[in-house]
Amino acid sequence: MSVRIEIEARCGDARAGTLFVRGLRVPTPLFMPVGTCGTVKAMAPGEVWDDGSRVILANTFHLLQRPGLEVLERLGGLHRFMGWDGAILTDSGGYQVFSLAARREVDDDGVSFASPLDGSRVRLTPAFVVEAQGRIGSDIAMVLDVCPPAEAPAEVVEEAVRRTTRWAREAVRAPRREGQALFGIVQGALDVGLRCSHLEELAALPFDGLALGGFSVGEPPPRRAPVLAAVAPRMPADRPRYLMGLGTPGDLFDAVRAGIDMFDCVLPTRNARNGQAFTAAGRITIKQARYREDPAPLEEGCGCLACRRFSRAYVRHLYACGEILAARLLTAHNLAFYARWMSKLRAAVHAGTLDTLEGEARTATAPAT
């Protein structure tokens, strides 16, 4: 396998270990910052690395649009293009395509859509998506899947699962760049039985890892949690388990407890650009008046770019003035917070004390008091 995982500790269904990818040994569970277009917004690649990240996510859909496969190939692939020394996982772009409801047409062989950039017709098939990710040069590729809305009728969800399975089988037969891993994606919305049967189908295929997709698409968290708890522990134990798109500190705690190894989410970076900082005491909304003269760092004891030198008052001033530095400092802090949180979750799994972090997980997710 081009990617493999070794499990070193368990705590109930939770597990901790090492992901071997691109010559790196990455501790799991791990969090991947989202670098949709080949950049983690507001950050230089070296800063992302310094904040503790070793794997980032980029998006095939957006990279197809800009700069395009030919440019990426001529310039040596995405790692060299963006100057990133870590590993890269590319999403297939399926979620983005299916969010373009008025612009796309789906059939059993793939999906066609009008480019949001220039209106030109684009056709994605399972084989082309694998080829495209090979040309991008990512370390882990995702299959093309159908992501149904959270509250879609049963027949729509069943059709999405059927097509996702068909496309998964085509993807594993497609030519693939040597050394690139391929992950399948389990769908099924909030139907536990359908999720489990789809998982069995995909687990029988020669994927390097499996992901749970179709969460965080509008479903109520109280309905999502029992589905995740029922399905995640059934995923193959010898392959990486990836939960796509979820990412509050509480979400990460719940999913780690269910046995997930890998995560991505826009939350730490998007919330940073909207003036929010994650801390162990809760989310800080920096524009609030109470921080106008606050001399404390965003979080005591944090060694990030923001907390080493700057006060909450200064970051608030930057944000109020629309300064780019505000986004940079808040993003650096949030990525450092997420890296620490994952480290704390890993240590708790190794120590057999994961459940003791539940209160901290809920506090870190809620607004600061």
Q: Which band of pLDDT confidence, cut at 50, 70 and 90, is reported for residue 126?
A: very high
Mean confidence (pLDDT) of the chain:
96
Averaged pLDDT, 25-31: 99
Q: Which band of pLDDT confidence, cut at 50, 70 and 90, is reported for residue 100?
A: confident
Is 264 considered catalytic here? yes
Averaged pLDDT, 168-176: 98
For the segment 54-76, what is each residue's pLDDT rounded down to a tens digit?
999 999 999 999 999 999 999 99
Is 91 considered catalytic here? yes
Nearest to 1 by CA among 16, 21, 15: 21
Averaged pLDDT, 333-347: 99
What gap in Å lies between CA 271 and CA 278, rounded to an integer? 9
Looking at residue 1, its pLDDT comes to 65
Asked if pLDDT for residue 107 goes beyond 80, the answer is yes
Q: Which band of pLDDT confidence, cut at 50, 70 and 90, is reported for residue 114?
A: confident
**Residue found under tokens 């990412």:** 247
For the segment 128-144, what is each residue's pLDDT rounded down to a tens digit?
999 999 999 999 999 99
Active-site entry in 91, 208, 251, 261: 91
Structural domain boundaries in the chain: 4-265, 267-369
DSSP for residue 367: B
Domain 4-265 listed as CATH 3.20.20.105: yes
| Residues 288, 289, 294: CA angle, nearest 5 degrees | 100
Active-site entry in 51, 208, 261, 264: 264
Q: Which band of pLDDT confidence, cut at 50, 70 and 90, is reported for residue 296?
A: very high
User: 165 in the Ramachandran plot: left (φ > 0), alpha (ψ -120 to 50) or beta?
Assistant: alpha
Nearest to 187 by CA among 146, 243, 216: 146
For the segment 237-253, what is each residue's pLDDT rounded down to a tens digit?
999 999 999 999 999 99
Looking at residue 337, its pLDDT comes to 99
Looking at residue 145, its pLDDT comes to 97
